[in-house]
Amino acid sequence: MPNSWFETVAEAQRRAKKRLPSPVYSALLAGSERGVSYGDNVAAFGELAFAPTVAGHHAERRLSTTALGLDLSMPVIISPTGVQAVHPDGEVAVARAAANRGIPMGLSSFASKSVEDVAAANQNVLYQVYWQGTRDTMLERLDRARAAGAKGLIATLDWSFSHGRDWGSPSIPEKLTLGAAVRFAPYALARRRWLTDFLRSGRVPDLTAPNLAVGGGQAPTFFGAYGEWMMTPPPTWEDVAWLRAQWDGPFVLKGVSRIDDALRAVDAGVSAISVSNHGGNNLDSTPAAIRMLPGIAETVGSQVEVLLDGGIRRGGDVAKALALGARAVMIGRAYLWGLAANGQVGVENVLDILRSGLDSAVLGLGHASIDELSRDDLWVPADFERRLGVRQSVSG
């Protein structure tokens, strides 16, 4: 039997590609338009160089921290991603893995598992919402998450509904009807281990969003919920402040890329902001999150916690984000590759990879704690940063 352990996130992705039906893998890969933002999220970390020390290293290093009022074994948070139909246990498997490794679980409102089931697997759930539906339906969904035990709220507001991809988009049915199953069969039969996992579980992906049911009704399909979201008028900053006022715990505004927006978020009363371009799935040519991080962290980092979401593939990336001002990072595709490759154990494998890489970076940089990481630990190219939302001087 082949070894299920993998040594890098890149290997997890290769295994996920071999295991998943091609439309499912393409849905995880995602991206937008030309894929500029998607590629830059990962490539930008390679432009940052470490400045390691040669002696005086510490035999023990502390990687634990706090964020959003929670204790973290390392500065990593599971980022919410929708409809994790890559594995029968989906978000519950991810939540268990995160709990076993001592980190919080971000749960998408578009998840394939209920907030109640996920909160039972991980006591530190951060429930994610979009500005979707009426205020009454939003309040009902927040009440449900609160009753389930969610510790924090993540509001994602940066989505611009860009659909085109130069490499093509996967064909995903709204419901897994008999006709859809027949059309999908060739893809599933080509990935028999994935199909066997679902058959053994006694269920198939139903492509619904159970956390978006209202009034005791049925869960909407993913595309039905997506349609509701598209038809909801975009929020104002007053709406952001209203939403924040409805949640009495930690509140994260996700998708911030501009310094002026970060300042407005502080005024709206958020607890934290996530610097993100939505994994490169949103408005293409938005810079990599790590390029936008320093300016935002310098401006508001003393007032709110600043998280980095985008492009994390190794522990060294985590160290670089912390050195440039992040309190913690959020990971998305990295754990999804692990989930697809080997279920809960695969997610734990990914988290162990990140922890080991972070520990190596802290050791090599001569520190005893992640709290000591700073810009002095890096060589940053002169043209690396992108400070958006500030007045730019014009010469000549």
Per-residue exposure over 214-239, b if at least 16 CB sit within 10 Å of its own CB, e if not: beeeebbbbebbbebbeeeeebeeeb
What are the catalytic residues? 278
CB-based burial of residue 380 (10 Å sphere; 0-12 exposed, 13-18 middle, 19+ buried)? Answer: middle
